[in-house]
């Protein structure tokens, strides 16, 4: 079955420390991977897509097909990065998103 796994429900780091949010997927084809973010009392919004190969708010994510992973990284975390992060993918002709269960990131001062 197609699935996204985010192994950490909670993650805390200190401001200025590197942060990595893990995401693994199970799908035999070529998925399109995304990271969505939800800040406190705000709606879910797209952070980045693997196909764009861009850096948003200092975050990057590289698709590793061999390890079926799409981990989100930032070298120096900021307090305003505190939020819930969801990894998601679409596959083949399906246009709906399949989400992981999310990781709550807290950046401590």
Partner 1 sequence: GAGVSQTPSNKVTEKGKYVELRCDPISGHTALYWYRQSLGQGPEFLIYFQGTGAADDSGLPNDRFFAVRPEGSVSTLKIQRTERGDSAVYLCASSLNLGDPKQFFGPGTRLTVL
- Chain residues binding partner 1 by CB under 8 A are 4, 9, 32, 34, 43-46, 49, 86, 88, 90, 94-102
Q: Give SS3 for 72.
A: strand
CB of 109 to partner 1, least distance (A): 27
CB of 99 to partner 1, least distance (A): 3
Measured distance CA(17)–CA(50) in Å, rounded: 24
Residue with Cβ nearer partner 1 (15 or 68): 68
Residue with Cβ nearer partner 1 (82 or 104): 104
| C-alpha Rg value of the chain to the nearest Å | 13
Residue with Cβ nearer partner 1 (9 or 65): 9
CB of 49 to partner 1, least distance (A): 7
Tell which residue, 102, 30, 26, 37, has the closest CA to residue 69.
Answer: 26
At residue 12, φ and ψ (nearest 5 deg) are -120, 135
CB of 15 to partner 1, least distance (A): 27
Measured distance CA(18)–CA(6) in Å, rounded: 18
């Amino acid at each position: 079955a197609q699935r996204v796994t985010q192994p950490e429900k909670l993650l805390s780091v200190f401001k200025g420390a590197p942060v990595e949010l893990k995401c693994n997927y199970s799908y035999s084809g070529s998925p399109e991977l995304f990271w969505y973010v939800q800040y406190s009392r705000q709606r879910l919004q797209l952070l980045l897509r693997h196909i764009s190969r861009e850096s948003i708010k200092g975050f990057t994510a590289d698709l590793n097909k061999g390890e079926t992973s799409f981990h989100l990284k930032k070298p120096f975390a900021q307090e305003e990065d505190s939020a819930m992060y969801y990894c998601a993918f679409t596959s083949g002709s399906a246009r709906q998103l399949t989400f992981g269960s999310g990781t709550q990131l807290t950046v401590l001062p």
